[in-house]
Structure 1
Amino acid sequence: MTEELSSLARRLAMPYYEDALPAHDEFHAKRVRNLSVRLADECGTAVDRAILSAAAWLHDIGRPRERVGEIDHHDKWATTKAAALLDAEGVASARIDAITHCIRAHSIRSSSPEPETIEAKLLFDADKLDAAGARGIVRLACIIGERSGRTGEQYAVIDDATASDTIGSDRPDVTLLRKWARERLDRLYTLPAKQLGTARWEFMEAFFDRFADELGVDGNR
């Protein structure tokens, strides 16, 4: 294998993002890759950036299939698929194992393993931080749209239910975005990620407070 690992992983991953929606597309993968490398530069620990970058490009290749119901867990599927793709390109088994551990451990699902390596922790953190801050608010809204497309039904209303004329709606309102962001930031592993998460959360709190103020309701209910 002569191709640099990160570039190889990007080339292998791109076809799997062709049918992706904005919340989990190639641009999300690129943002996660770039942020994970930035965090690596700040964490003060030796990091294999080639492993980290490769895992970032490949971590969400199963999302389009999960969205349409072809698979149940995109992280499990991507772990198997990435291993096969990399093996076919002659990547050493030890490097494949390191990459696939990152992929398997990046999900926030309770069934996902804990990230054990610094590369896996950095990928997890960068992925979660892409759902925080100004960009994160937009991305979380995209995730709601993605889930709506999967279920065929509206997943969440825009207005807080208490400000709506609709009585007794069982759909979660926009405060779900606050919950999603907070639970992701509470799970961060590395110090630079936690520091960045704190700054991004300050913006999100201000946004949600302003949102609630415009609706005339309590945004913390």
Structure 2
Amino acid sequence: MPSSIGPRIREVSRPYYAEALPAHDIFHAKRVRDVSVQLAAQHSESIDRAVLTAAAWLHDIGRPLERLGEINDHGEWAANEATTLLAEEDVTPDQISAIEHCLRTHSIRSSSPTPTTLEAKLLFDADKLDAAGAVGLVRLACIVGERSGRAEDQYAVLDDAATLDGDRPDGPDIDLLREWARERLDALYTSPGRRLGESRWAFMEQFFAQFAHETGADTGT
């Protein structure tokens, strides 16, 4: 599979993201592609960048269907869908198999298989890193909104419950974003991924401190 297949796979994937919400749209796929390539450049081992790039563009093509309840596992669905898509491109059977593995293993959910190839581990890390740092904070807040929309109720309060006297919300508060990000950073597989993750985490800690200051959570007012 020539490296030039990347732009073609991007265009093939684009229609699947037409109904995607912001947290899992094609811009998310692009960031995952960019970060996965960045991490790959820090590895001395041989990496099939064409496989990695194609997998990045395709990894969330099933998200809109999963959100609507039409499929249960967007990673598994994407892997099956990719078999047909890639067979029509200049992609070898071995590379299709490698991309399928990346797609099946990119999710953090407990039911997802463990990534075993370096390409799959890099995709997993790049995807999780998009939930950390400045962009990550915005994405996680978007996910709270998505879940609220599905439940037709407030999923979380993006404030600090400690700032409110009397009855407090039953649901999670701003700490949920910290927990989600930390969970993903603790799951990273590669050394370059962990280094970037800690850099992004340092920014998030500064953000949470500033958030507490602005809302009065650090003073109890």
What is the TM-score normalised by the length of structure 2? 0.92
Q: Does 1:200 align with 2:174?
A: no
1:167 paired to 2:167? yes
- Structure 1 residue 104 and structure 2 residue 110: aligned? no
Q: Note the alpha carbon deviations across 1:52-95, whole angstroms, 9 max, x for none.
A: 00000000001111112111211111111111211233632211
Confirm or deny: 8 A CA contact 1:43 1:191 kept in the other structure. no
Residues 60, 78 of structure 2: 8 Å contact kept: yes
Q: Aligned runs of 1:32-181 on 2, under 5 Å?
A: 32-89=32-89, 91-164=91-164, 167-181=167-181
Q: CA deviation at 1:151?
A: 2.4
Gaps of 5+ in 1: none
Per-residue deviation, 1:117: 0.6
| Equivalent-residue separation in structure 1 for 2:166 and 2:157 (angstroms) | 10
What SS is found at the alignment partner of 2:14? helix
Please tell me the root mean square deviation across aligned C-alpha atoms, in Å: 1.9
Bigger mean CA deviation after superposition, 78-87 or 24-33 = 78-87
Larger mean Cα displacement after TM superposition, 153-162 or 52-61: 153-162
How many Å apart are 1:10 and its aligned residue?
1.0
Structure 1 counterpart of 2:46, one-letter code: A
Contact 1:132 1:197 in 2 (8 A): yes
Question: Distance between the aligned counterparts of 1:166 and 1:173, measured in 2?
Answer: 16
Match of 1:28 in 2: 28
For 1:76 and 1:191, locate their aligned partners in 2 and report how far apart those are by CA, in whole Å. Answer: 27
Size of the aligned set, in residue pairs, is 219
Q: Is the 8 A contact 2:106 2:127 kept in 1?
A: yes
Q: Which string of whole-angstrom CA distances, capped at 9 and with x for unpartnered residues, describes residues 137-189 of structure 1?
A: 11111111122222222211121223236724221111100000000000111
- Measure the CA separation in 1 of the matches of 2:133 and 2:208: 11
Amino acid at match of 1:29: A
Change (3 A) 1:3 1:188: closer
Distance 2:166 2:109 in 1: 32
**1:99-144 deviations in whole A, cap 9, x for unaligned?**
0100111000111111111100100011111111111111111111
Percent identical among aligned pairs is 61
Q: Which amino acid aligns with 1:139?
A: R
Unaligned stretches of 5+ residues in structure 2: none
* Structure 2 letter corresponding to 1:108: I
Q: CA deviation at 1:7?
A: 2.2
